[in-house]
A and B are shown apart, each in its own frame.
Chain A
């Protein structure tokens, strides 16, 4: 909305032309989302506490977590509100990719919100059933996949590119493209949700990965840079840098309240939505495999759960002391803050590796 206003003002005052630059609006989006969250955050936490929207803690989890019971949850609503307002303010609303990522994120947010609401407000420990949750996630992800396939105007929009290997490009048929989109969005969403088990553990990697995806989006949307770096040119994808900036800003502000000892948890409403946002951006900028590298912490957390469940069902033995992986390290004697910061450091390294794929190909 503000972009249209500044473009109109730029006709008379040259200074306003600076708002046409995506990079500038991405930085502004990060700051706007950050300040919205800072302004609304304390009030929201007070209200969540007043309405007794508190997290229940799993009985079989580490005992040190029992003191977290009652901490307000559903703080993800704060993140989503900030992201949505900021994107509507600074994004180019004529760009269909902006709407795809925004609606996909909010769609997953609604699923998470319903789940949280049933668990916390209705005191129904099961929340949304696993089948219903997966069903609705599948609906949103498939709609995104089909829409992106139908609106693809260039071969690059539907090709799978392989990091580090410039000439290894796989043109995907409709079925494969939609299946890959589905896997990336739903997988990323659930992986972030599984990672969200310690204070600040999920949000900081999300901030870092979204920042890096913003760079990929900017480069992919720029004809000169994409040609120079040898990555697919996706016209219009650059605008997603604004959306990624909004995620980073809102995420950082949320971390302010979510850092150990957390004043609020994001809940499924935040975790499912943020994971879906990362997945959707990665699909649009054709960097699914790079997301797999950069989001390595999310991947390992999800894989640890799969291994634990499979091993227990097949052999009756557990591979990890507890799954997801962060609990394993806690039970090994690491302090919660050590696990969190070490996982952040690993993510930083992985994000650097992901960014290196821009040049190393």
Chain B
């Protein structure tokens, strides 16, 4: 309810635009950051081989 009231204050049109934009860009940044995290993990594993031999 609070959110709806706040959203109404923004104006319906602006709100609609925000939603469309959010829906379009949702997946990409999330996926790229998660791929970075996996890479960092692999780098960490690579560094661990310095000691584990």
Contact = CB atoms under 8 A, between A and B. Distances in A.
Interface of A: 18, 21, 23-24, 27-28, 30-31, 34, 56-57, 59, 63-64, 66-67, 69-70, 200, 252-253, 255-256, 259-261, 337
B47 A66 contact: no
B48 A24 contact: yes
Contacts of B40: 252
A256 B37 CA distance: 7
Interface of B: 2-3, 6-7, 9-10, 14-15, 18-19, 22, 25-26, 29-30, 33-34, 37, 40-41, 44-45, 47-48, 50-52
A45 B9 CA distance: 29
Contacts of B30: 259-261
A34 B41 contact: yes
B22 A200 contact: no
Contacts of A255: 33, 37
B19 A67 contact: yes
Given A57-B6, A66-B6, A252 B33 contact: no
Contacts of A59: 6, 9
Nearest to A34: B41
A34 B34 CA distance: 13
B41 A27 contact: no
B17 to A, nearest CB: 10
A70 B3 CA distance: 8
A104 to B, nearest CB: 26
Given A31-B41, A66-B10, A67-B7, 17 more contacts: A24-B52, A27-B44, A30-B44, A59-B6, A63-B18, A64-B18, A66-B6, A66-B7, A67-B22, A69-B3, A200-B33, A252-B37, A252-B41, A260-B30, A261-B22, A261-B29, A337-B29
A260 B48 contact: no
A195 B40 CA distance: 23
A261 B27 CA distance: 8
